Amino acid sequence: VTVTTDSASYSLNQWVTITASVLLGQSPAPGASVTFAVTEPDGSAVTKTATTDTSGVAVAKLRVKRNDPTGTYGVQAHASLDSAIFGDATSSFDVVP
């Protein structure tokens, strides 16, 4: 499992696109459930879910609101399919004023 964002930093009131790629061995894992947990600098968390497409890719969008804290946000992606757990991946992005 890998997780990325479409940018390293965002301004308030922008959209963040979070992408997870899930492989089973060397092949894409379509139909896997991916839970994205985004932790804000103040410790609060937002959770989004998505399902991988035929390429093993799942995408979630998150809007950084005007009153959200600035700083570094953590991103964790957890992927599973049926009872198989593919694992976790982490990333981060910054929100600047």
pTM of structure: 0.93
DSSP labels for 36-57? EEEE-TTS-EEEEEEE--TTSE
- pLDDT at site 83: 80
Q: pLDDT tens digit string along 38-76? A: 999 999 999 999 999 999 999 999 999 999 999 999 999
| pLDDT level of residue 7 (50, 70, 90 thresholds) | very high
Place of tokens 């969008």: 61
Contact 86, 22 (CB under 8 A): yes
- pLDDT at site 50: 98
- pLDDT at site 74: 99
Mean pLDDT of 29-40: 97
Q: Any idea which architecture 2-96 has in CATH?
A: Sandwich (2.60)
